[in-house]
Amino acid sequence: MRLIVIGGDAAGMSAAAQARRLLKPGELEITAFERGDYTSYSACGIPYWVGGLVDGPDELIARDPATHRANGIDVYTGHEVTGIDLRSRTVTVRDRTESFDHLVYAAGATPIRPAWADTPAQGVYGVQTLGDAAALQEWLAPGRDTAVVIGAGYIGVEMAEALQRRGMRVTLVERSGQPMATVDPDMGALVADSIRGLGIELRTGVTVQGLETDGGRVSAVVTDDGVLPADVVVLGLGVRPNTALADAAGLPLGVTGALATDLRQRVTGPDGIVDGVWAAGDCTQVTHLVSGRAMHLPLGTHANKQGRVAGINIGGGYATFPGVIGTAITKICDLEVARTGLSSKEADAAGFRFVTATVESTNRAGYFPGAVPMTVKVIAEKDTGLLLGAQIVGRAEAAKRIDAFAVAVWNRMTVTEMTALDLGYAPPYAPVWDPILIAARKAADAL
């Protein structure tokens, strides 16, 4: 059999590696095509490379092409697949065609780039790939000390921190009324206050209208709230599923514009499963297990899991990817932000009647050195007490507490059940009543 993989990062190479573990080279020939120059790398680590916290890009590469080849996977970088023919079961790459028995479509996502950003001027960068980050690093020469980051989601706030760490004057522009729109407005306000407290100029409710250039270089960002000088502009406006190639081939797309799959990562559509065609990663849609709705949620954790599931099934095993609950964390300098499940807005859109409870506590016993405040918010279904979601904003040891909430959401626990959780306690690690338990108890009282 022949397996062709389109995309050489998390999802595609996880699928290839897992299939190779189950089938010997004489049973399955695997060829992967990656249009970029790198394979199996951590795009999530790019802001920390730019900010000087980690060396790169080698530090961010888990497995290079030579390692994959040594493991029996034939990898071609700098090779973009330009066509898929489902009838002849071939792909076109450069000037040749390659046949397949199985095809894994793992083309990832493409950054959103508005028309006003489509300029030949130097100094405007996205940061989706290691190549993007390398180009940005080269541009950040001495004397270029004013940066504008557009978009205050995860990538935007992380890049704002990275550029500030380099000693630059940073303005963070966000069209909505708050940074980190994946958390509720009251929690977003805490994030906004902290960002401003770090010396980053945060402009919310501001729409970018265009760029000004000087001598072939960007010089300013034009907004409906004035002109912002800029030696460099970083785009953090999110991504779209990279499905143009799949759509052109006739592969059915889901309601989100991403590829729809079954639980085994087989591409599906109105006519059922597409034989021998699998998809994984940022080009696919997933099911939110709380709302039941399809969504596009591009994260490396999901990509690796989906790729592994596809590879097991291609290799003759059986595995499934049931869905997601929207768990995510990030940091802005020493501020930690985390969420899981549904936000209040998402719960309302999904038709839930719910209550919320917000508490302020500390990461450690209040008398212990290093104790700092954190805010925890819980969202619970009004009639049943089912935990629908949780959010945390704090500092040291705050964000990873979201994992306890994530396990509770995943296993459909009620907030009343959560009040009895046997969590670890010692003064250096938590108050005798952990913030998780306090929030669950307050939500149970609200019911």
Distance of alpha carbon 118 from alpha carbon 183, whole angstroms: 30
Distance CA(33)–CA(374), nearest Å, equals 45
Structure tokens at 331: 């940091």
User: What gap in Å lies between CA 156 and CA 180, rounded to an integer?
Assistant: 9
The residue annotated as part of the active site, out of 22, 44, 365, 446, is 44
- 44 is a catalytic site residue: yes
Please identify every residue annotated as catalytic.
44
